Structure 1
């Protein structure tokens, strides 16, 4: 791949990632609830939310700034809300998901090049960022995200296997999903307090992605995930922000490890 085409592909991938990342804040707000609770259907002030994708802003809050009852907004605060044309933000905004998703997609494009599986990685990357965000906030990996992630990965890779110039094997992707899922299930049975069942379901998708490039990539991505988690937990203990038995969300590190393994697997394929 020539230098100009490579840079153009990376730029397009980054733009795609930024656009997709801008749609994640509302979904993150709706999914980020403790286990056992229903997904959020309203903004912090109780206005119903329309749809799952988009910025974390409520249209109904435009004319009613925080701290003001609906229908009684007046003065400079109300005027400022009307002048901006957007309601107050809830959640953490779009800057982080936009930046992270753009960087992830750009890195995947640089490692994969023009091979057809790049389209699969770019479609799955925003879902991975969303899953990591939700788990990091509330230590929960929603079934509506983890199970479709695995199914979509296998389905798209199955189609990619029919396209010329791909660099992976769908059979290994399927076996990787089953193997990694089974391995995490064993860890869940051994220590349910340290490994959630959501991690088991997420491992199915991670195993499929890593398995596309072979067993060494599965092993590398798995080890990278555990290493990232161990370093994060150790840093919290050293900083005295957590104890040895403190539970930490493992989903972000499972995803990070899969990302590292995928980059190396794609680059060396």
Structure 2
């Protein structure tokens, strides 16, 4: 247990450094100036507890590196989507590619392709589901949301199908809460605009922490 505390403290420290560095990506891809959203301390404060919790729940395993990589990029993606309702492909595609490569390495090292095959199947399933939703809603679900769903499907699919379903359910519940609370921005036709990317990323994080 003592060793785990040390690793968690190290993950928190790494989160502060990596979060501060990743805030540069937030500033780069924000289309309008926003001092708070692109501040180094906001990135550090958001990323540090996420990496600390991941280390505590997942343990010192190969998965931690993959989850940590996804989480570090998830913070600027969530901030950008919250501010501007878009998920830049220049961030989300490297996130997806890096996670795929990381899981592929784990499969090769452990001589166990089953989790990787399941993760790819979950990627296709969630990405396909959101692609259908994007077509059906005529823009209600954006291309960035489709990519984010693919990332979450991949990451949670590594653990199992219940985690995939749980992540999507959690994301949907969070979106409903955001619609219900005051302050959600409105379109001209009075339909609530919900940044679904942060909901998806939070759902994936929640299931990863719960499943360990």
- Using structure 2 for the length normalisation, give the TM-score: 0.90
1:210-221 mapped onto 2 (5 Å cutoff): 210-221=156-167
Q: Does 1:138 align with 2:136?
A: no
TM-superposed CA distance for 1:180, in Å, is 0.5
TM-superposed CA distance for 1:157, in Å, is 0.7
- The answer as to whether partners of 1:225 and 1:257 remain within 8 angstroms in 2 is yes
Distance across 2 between alignment mates of 1:90 and 1:252: 17
Residue 26 of structure 1 corresponds to 24
User: Which moves more between the two structures, 180-189 or 143-152?
Assistant: 143-152
SS of the aligned residue for 1:161 comes to: helix
Hey, which of these two has a bigger chunk of helix by percent? 2
1:48-197 mapped onto 2 (5 Å cutoff): 92-164=38-110, 169-197=115-143
Distance across 2 between alignment mates of 1:220 and 1:90: 32
Pick from 138, 142, 155: which aligns with 1:209? 155
Distance across 1 between alignment mates of 2:199 and 2:36: 26
SS of the aligned residue for 2:193 comes to: coil
TM-superposed CA distance for 1:115, in Å, is 2.1
Q: Which has the larger radius of gyration?
A: 1
- The answer as to whether partners of 1:14 and 1:102 remain within 8 angstroms in 2 is yes
Distance across 2 between alignment mates of 1:197 and 1:91: 22
Residue 234 of structure 1 corresponds to 180
The CA RMSD measured in Å over matched residues stands at 2.3
TM-superposed CA distance for 1:92, in Å, is 4.4
TM-superposed CA distance for 1:206, in Å, is 1.1
TM-superposed CA distance for 1:218, in Å, is 0.4
Gaps of at least 5 residues in structure 2 are none
Residue 12 of structure 2 corresponds to 14
Distance across 1 between alignment mates of 2:26 and 2:64: 25
Gaps of at least 5 residues in structure 1 are 35-43, 45-55, 57-88
